[in-house]
Structures are given as structure tokens and as C-alpha cells.
Amino acid sequence: MATGHLDRPVAFALDGYHLTLYSAALDAGLNSRVMTDIDGEQRPRGMGYDLGADEAGARTYLPFVLRTD
């Protein structure tokens, strides 16, 4: 649930608008009825709305496979 307080870094990309994979702003926003982000991409994507102008892309988690020969 969004509280308006982040206890971790927002972690913007170098352009200052886009969020990185480890940003505390991911899924931390509220529904503001804004349906597209700064890039014209649909909001929300993922579990909830991201804070700021950018709605980060879908986050995909792949399995880690350890191979021993």
C-alpha cells in the first residue's frame, strides 16, 4: 500500500525520468487516473502504479539454472 514515504532510493536512470529495476518507486504509487506514462505506454504495468512520470516495463524473473559437468 502506498504511504507517500519511500525508505529506499528511487533509482532513476541517467535521463532522470525512467526508473531502474531496483527503484523503490516501482508499484509504490496510487491510481491517479493517468492511463499512459511519459513514453505513451499503458499504466499500470505490473502489480500497481509506479511513482513519477515513467511506468517501468514488465519485470520478468527467469529461473537460475546451475549446470555442473
37 is a domain residue:
yes
pLDDT of 35 reads 92
Nearest to 49 by CA among 19, 69, 9: 19
Identify whether 6 is part of a domain. Answer: yes
Number of structural domains the chain divides into: 1
Q: Which three cell numbers stand for residue 7?
A: 525508505
Q: How far apart are CA 23 and CA 6, in angstroms?
A: 10
pLDDT digits (tens, 9 = 90+) for 47-62: 889 988 889 875 555 6
CA 53 to chain centre: 11
- Which residues of the chain, if any, have pLDDT below 70? 1-5, 58-62
Query: Is the whole-model pTM more than 0.75?
Result: no
Cα–Cα nearest to 22, from 11, 38, 37: 11
The residue segments making up the domain with residue 34 are: 1-57
